[in-house]
Chains A and B, each alone.
Chain A
Amino acid sequence: MRAHCVAIAAIAIGLPSIARAELPLMERDQPVACAKDLDGHTWRIQCDHATKVCLYAADEELDALGKPVKPLERAKDCAFDPFDRAALAAAGYTFEPGRADVPWGWTRDDRGRAFQINFDLRKRVFFGVAYTPKKILENPLESTRTSIDFGLLVLNIKNDRTMHRLRFVEGGVHLEPFSAELVLAHYDLSHRFLDPLLRITTFFGEPARHDLTLDLGMWTEVGGLELHRTARGNAQLWKHATAEVTLDLWQSADLGSFARLRTGLALEGQRDEVTGYHSAIVQTSAFELDMVVDREGFHNLRFELAHELPRYFVEMGDTGKLAQRMKARLHYEAIVLAINDQPLSLKLAMGGEKRDDIPGLPNQWAFVMDAGLRFSLWAPPRARL
């Protein structure tokens, strides 16, 4: 027992070196042993039998002076098995300071404090503010070039080879010119089919098989609302329901990123102060790219190119029975810091729109670019591939 304690005490001599930066992190999925030193402090030890290197770290968080202050957060349980440092050293093992294990998506600093470094922005509640720059400087708190956006629940759920994407109360409001968008509920799914729709075998040279897989899915929204304020008054566009079929052109291995085409029908009603209320069936088509660029989820890119053709049941003023909407939008979001492990991200967006369905809006391409910040709640670590 005495030899055991002395062995552990010898490890404790390494304490000052814990302040060194970039100590190796213990593997979460490998066993960790615990042992106490002569002062009663617990140490975590993990040995790699292939390299014959044992990492050791304090089982408590340290203060700035290296003094243990409280238990480690998010460290897995360790067993107090007999530990003989002398025997291991005789067998050729070396002992190096390290950092205690943490779950996937987390890390520790040199004092053992855990914090999240991987974020899934497809699981969150978010709200943000953005600003569209212009040449004239304005009071930042009273800028009419400001917009807000929000999502009361963004939730991607992966089930084997299917990704379910849910969004509730998501939208944004621009001050001037005033416009607002809101969707009460959105649901879409992507599925990875294992069996190809067509198998093409080529016989040029060595016979080879080429699979043509159709990764079909669906896309639905209910309770969409667009508000516009034009020179001819207020216009409201109620997008009651939309249902579309999707074809994924590309899917990432975790189904978190994709490029797809979608097309379908929507039922909507438009009310403005010039022509009153008109219902329409809308043919909609779009190309979408939604991509998490890096493994940690820090860089997120989205692009959408959409075309909509509302066909009104009753002729609508100068527009007639058929209108057209086209829009393109590129959106980039990058996490810049995290407060209590809740990410604050920078959003850069640019887009263009051309439409002739709303009286008072010019029938020409209009472009907008804005930059802003988003704060997200929840945002757990991304699933490990």
Chain B
Amino acid sequence: MGAAARAALALVALAGLWIPASAECTKLASGRRYPVCFDPGNRLSVTAGSDGFGGAVALRQTIHFEDDPDLQWKLEHQIAEVASAGGAIGLTALLYRGRYVRHTRDGHLVLPLGRPRKIFLPFDIGGLVEAGRLTRLPDGAYELGIVKTAALVDLWRTRDFRRRLAFGPVARWEVGLARDTSVVLKDHVVAPFSAGIANLHAESRDGLTTADVTIEAGTAWTTGGGWRADARAEATLERIVLAVNDRPIALIVGARYRAATDEAIASVGARVVLFQAADPRAR
């Protein structure tokens, strides 16, 4: 892992700890109000940067229950995320990623055998689901992440989406792809909950700053070489710096590392939001 990537990871981690707050979500100029708070979880955006060009759809959804106001499901969806520099330089694409967290005022464990018993646990639980991740590797081959799932325990509990510190075991199934006369499947890589994932996410109250750090480490089994250690890390920091016609434009810096390819890549770019749900506070 290069020094630049390490520095970028540290920068992102530090930035995630500093979250400015803003109570006022609209300002008045020339008799018209304009928003200064944005919702980073509901938008269609395009990005341009050192990773190439791309885009993604992000959606957030909260399910409430009339008979239990303390309970809610927080659902985050990322759909059709693509970043491509074209040619042999690089491609990453993700068909779907969902993160579902069940938030309650008090977590608990129920032992339903015999007379049911309830034991207090101070965390939310949830799951991560990822399907259809395609990555072009440095040697020109492709890797298809067919499915990835993780059970999550969120220790930094909140009713909104602004913060998360989640841990859990992760299962992953990936396959190498090669193009011959047709697409040929190569080695399979399977981590049967033999790896762990940690995810730290924080957003400022006004939605202008977003930081996310994910680390996965453990072992994975390959059809070609049996068990091997596997680790990967990814960090991003996004800061909205201006808005055109109330559509935000953000600077993004990021870094990612993979032990399997011993590859560390730092990236910088800009994200333009084409469509987004207005922040409720700014309506």
Write the residues of chain A forming the contact surface with B, with a CB cutoff of 8 angstroms: 21-22, 70, 73-74, 76, 103, 107, 109, 113-117, 125, 127, 129, 141-142, 144, 146-148, 150, 152, 169, 171, 173, 175, 178, 180, 182, 227, 229, 234, 236, 271, 277, 298, 335-342, 375, 377
Contacts and interface: CB of A to CB of B under 8 A. Distances in A.
A70 B106 CA distance: 11
B58 to A, nearest CB: 19
B188 interface: yes
A142 B194 contact: yes
Interface string B103-125: 01101111111011110010011
Interface residues of B, number: 45
Given A127-B127, A377-B100, A337 B190 contact: no
Contacts of A337: 109-113
Given A127-B151, A175-B192, A341-B110, 5 more contacts: A109-B117, A125-B100, A125-B129, A127-B171, A129-B171
- Choose among B70, B110, B115 the residue with the greatest number of A CB atoms under 10 Å from its CB: B110
B149 interface: yes
Contact of A117 (B70, B102, B116): B116
A117 B114 CA distance: 11
Contact of A141 (B105, B115, B219): B219
A19 to B, nearest CB: 14
B215 interface: no
B116 A107 contact: yes
B146 interface: yes
- Secondary structure call for the B interface: strand
A116 B110 contact: yes
B121 A115 contact: no
A152 B129 contact: yes
Contacts of B147: 150, 152, 169, 171, 182
Interface string B165-204: 0000001010000000010010010101110000000000
A74 B68 CA distance: 5
Contacts of B218: 141
- A-B pairs with the 3 shortest C-beta distances? A127-B149, A338-B110, A146-B192
- Secondary structure call for the A interface: strand
Contact of B190 (A171, A173, A182): A173
Contacts of B275: none
Given A144-B221, A339-B109, A173 B173 contact: yes
A377 B102 contact: yes
A8 to B, nearest CB: 26
Contact of B113 (A70, A336, A339): A336
Contact of A22 (B115, B124, B188): B115
B119 to A, nearest CB: 10
- Choose among A169, A182, A340 the residue with the greatest number of B CB atoms under 10 Å from its CB: A340
Given A73-B70, A335-B112, A234 B118 contact: no
A148 B173 CA distance: 9
Contacts of A113: 108, 118
B131 A180 contact: no
10 contacts: A73-B68, A115-B108, A125-B100, A125-B129, A127-B127, A152-B129, A152-B131, A173-B192, A180-B173, A339-B121
